[in-house]
Structure 1
Amino acid sequence: MKSIANIFVSTYPFGKFDSLPLDLLDRSGLSYTINPLNRKLTSEEVSDLAKDSVGIIAGTENLQLLVNRSKNLQFISRVGIGLDSVPLRLCREKGIKVSYTPDAVTLAVSELVMGMMITLPRQVAWADRQLRRGDWTRPVGISIKSAKIGIVGLGRVGFSIAKMLTAFSPTKVYICDILDKSNEIEFLRSMGLVIEQVPLDFLLESSDIVSIHVPLTSLTRNLIKDRELDLMKKTSYLINFSRGGIVNEEMIYNRLKNFGLAGMAVDVYEKEPYKGKLRELENVVLTQHMGSCSFDCRLAMESQATEELIRFFQSKSLLNEVPEFEFENSEF
């Protein structure tokens, strides 16, 4: 092994619902420490707790301070797919290897987004709040079948959602992606989906439900701001289960408060845990960055990240090293 000591597990929860990731670490002979605070750590806390570590199994914690300060860190194994919290360019400069678990989260996130495509326009959360107050209005909303759905980003999750939509037969599905998705679209059409790749402006103007599925990079930060929101119909809904920072929080708050949009479902925020103004609004469904929070998904992410870290410290070939294009698009 390259080292047998000082592995820090910053992500939380870890090994809480299934002990396999911990068992893997125990059997590997690596010495490790688990996040002692049982919550998401701040950048400063990660830097302090992992300052002597040679490897880290990380969640969505901001690792910039740790990477900048550390003289020992050799490997980052990211539990999940998002890399906006990892300073990839700085890692490259310092010779720190980075891996992630891009395939483990796809199904769990896709399922929850599909749930929101029903919950949000059918006003399920609003009806629940009304009933608890003693009201009974039986709100009416649009169905997926009658809707035009916009998917921004046809990567792993976007493609999975599009496949799920074949069972609902929406009126039309619009796709926007920086890459040519002709092959994927042809496959989805063969499954009966009415689907077309279009520019972002057209997608926003035409869709009843818009779902965001792109990574947070220098290209996508504030992708949805006032200009883009102006294009959307006042009767349309926005879903962001991708990353905070892609949708400008202040601008979307003002739009929703003044009923410039019908509603929004959001799982991700610029600062987490979230304590912002969207909590004031009745036409917003808020969840707690829990797209990956199914038992099977958590186990897959945690065990895959652990196995990758063990491979690194056993000098074996990595299976999920972050590819070159992710470094090119990194903000820092």
Structure 2
Amino acid sequence: MKSVFVSTFPFCRTSPKALELLASNGYKVTINPMGRKMKPLEVMEAAKDFDALIAGTEDLTPLVKETTHLKLISRVGVGLDSVPLDLCKKKGISVAYTPDAVSPAVSELAVSLIIDAMRKVSYADREIRKGEWTRPYGERIGGAVIGILGFGRIGKRVASHLLGFFPKEILICDLLEQSQSIELLQTISDQMFEMNQTLGKNWNETNIKQVDFETLLQRSDAVTIHVPLTEQTKNLFNSKTMTLMKQKSVLINTARGGIVNEDDLYQMLKDQKISAAAMDVFEEEPYLGPLSELENVILTQHMGSCSNDCREDMEREAAENIVGFFGSGNWERVV
């Protein structure tokens, strides 16, 4: 009987389908008993003698170095910065992921955080709870310039969601040339604009273009991050680069902790050099740092994937990858 350890938390909180799939195919499953994100050495000690691991964003380097038994890591999600891929390849450990299931939930959260930060929704909520009532003014997406850093699955969905708000511009920054995808989105945007003109609606026409990183920062009223954490993106947003942003701009990170230097962001927000930020991901989680002292930042609990349907799909696909791998079936191979 093959054994599977589940380190990710939560797992099967709202649906038992992933566990049922593994059990029905004869797998013995042990679930993270700690009720929180496991630390690297905890994962190593718990999972080193298992055949497969269903992992979240835990750092798996100590486990991969130590194990002589593990054959497959199946990531619940798409990011692979916590998996030492070269070492896995060297030790013959295969890696799978669930690249499509997470995109709808993360993209919707990113758009909601853009609105929240620009319109000061959470700030107003906190004021009421303190007995205050200033009715703060904010900015709209309609007529604004929205910058998207990273134009993969999630970045493209964010752009498509934004079309209905009729921003003035959507600026795309990506390592790859994205003219084909941009042309398709521009066609859809133009059709929406023409339809509303026919209905007598005097709404903005949206222009979509690809720009470099510096231009993205300088021109955007909101910047939303959708790139992986790599050596190149580590601390990409620091005191130097964030100084290029407009004073009224907002920064949204639903990608990975570490892309934004949290100490530099704290100082930028405290000095009001940018208007606001929304952070769903952090270098250390759970987050206990000084950003929580500020009123102009929204902090959420790495919950981009945490819609009931997307989480169920991710967990089921992670289980299907295990069944497919050991059963010579279909699975989403990385290594």
Mark yes or no: TM-score above 0.5. Answer: yes
TM normalised by structure 2 equals 0.94
Alignment partner, residue 218 of structure 2: 205
Q: Which residue of 1 aligns with 2:247?
A: 234
2:9 aligned with 1:7, yes or no? no
Query: Is there any run of 5+ residues in structure 1 with no aligned partner, and where?
Result: 324-332
1:99 aligns with 2:73: no
Output the CA distance in 1 between the equivalents of 2:280 and 2:184. 29
SS at 1:189's partner residue?
A: helix
Tell me by how many angstroms 1:215 deviates: 0.5
- Structure 1 stretches (4+) deviating beyond 6 angstroms? none
1:51-200 equivalent positions in 2, closer than 5 A: 51-192=48-189, 193-200=206-213
**What SS does the corresponding residue of 2:119 show, helix, strand or coil?**
coil
Quote the offset at 1:14 in angstroms: 1.2
Distance in 2 of aligned mates of 1:234 and 1:167: 26
Tell me, what secondary structure is at the counterpart of 1:231?
Answer: coil
How far, CA to CA, are the matches of 2:317 and 2:227 in structure 1? 22
**Alpha-carbon distance in structure 2 between the residues aligned to 1:16 and 1:127:** 31
Partner of 1:273: 286
- Is 1:17 aligned to residue 35 of structure 2? no
Q: Any idea what the Cα deviations from partners look like across 1:276-296, whole Å, max 9, x if unmatched?
A: 111111000000000000000
Aligned to 1:309: 322
Return the letter of the residue paired with 2:258: G
Q: Give the match for residue 263 of structure 1.
A: 276
Displacement, 1:194? 1.3
What's the CA shift for 1:39? 1.3
Q: What is the identity, as a one-letter code, of the residue corresponding to 1:54?
A: D
Residue in 1 aligned with 2:196? none
* Equivalent AA in structure 2 for residue 95 of structure 1: G
Distance (whole Å) between structure 1 residues aligned to residue 329 and residue 102 of structure 2 = 24
Alignment deviations for residues 141-195 of structure 1 (CA, whole Å, 9 cap, x no partner): 0000021100001111100010011111101111100000000100010011411
User: What residue ranges of structure 2 are gaps of 5+ in the alignment?
Assistant: 190-205
Q: CA deviation at 1:225?
A: 1.1
Q: Quote the Cα distance in structure 1 between the aligned partners of 2:164 and 2:289.
A: 36
Q: Distance in 1 between matches of 2:143 and 2:23?
A: 53
- The 3-state SS of whatever aligns with 1:8 is strand
Shift of 1:315: 2.5
The CA deviation at 1:199 is: 0.5
How many angstroms apart in 1 are the aligned matches of 2:19 and 2:164? 39
RMSD: 0.9
Q: Distance in 2 between matches of 1:75 and 1:153?
A: 28
SS state at 1:149 partner: strand
Once residues 110 and 241 of structure 2 are traced to their aligned partners in structure 1, the CA distance between those partners, rounded to angstroms, is 21
- What corresponds to 2:304 in structure 1? 291
* 1:59-81 deviation line (CA, Å, top 9, x unaligned): 11111100010010110000001
What's 1:328 paired with?
none
Equivalent residue letter for 2:233: T
1:265-323 alpha-carbon deviations (Å, 9 max, x no partner): 000000111111111110000000000000001100000000111111113242x1117
Question: Number of aligned pairs?
Answer: 319
What secondary structure, in the 3-state scheme, does the structure 2 residue paired with 1:121 have? helix
Distance between the aligned counterparts of 1:129 and 1:85, measured in 2?
35
SS in 2 for 1:120: helix
Q: Which amino acid aligns with 2:305?
A: S
Aligned: 1:245 with 2:258: yes
Whole-angstrom distance in 2 between the partners of 1:152 and 1:162? 11
- The equivalent residue for 1:327 is none
Q: How does 1:37-52 map to 2 (within 5 A)?
A: 37-52=34-49
Q: What are the Cα deviations for residues 102-151 of structure 1, in whole angstroms up to 9, with x where unaligned? A: 10000001111111111111000110111111111100100000211000
Are 2:334 and 1:322 equivalent residues in the alignment? Answer: yes
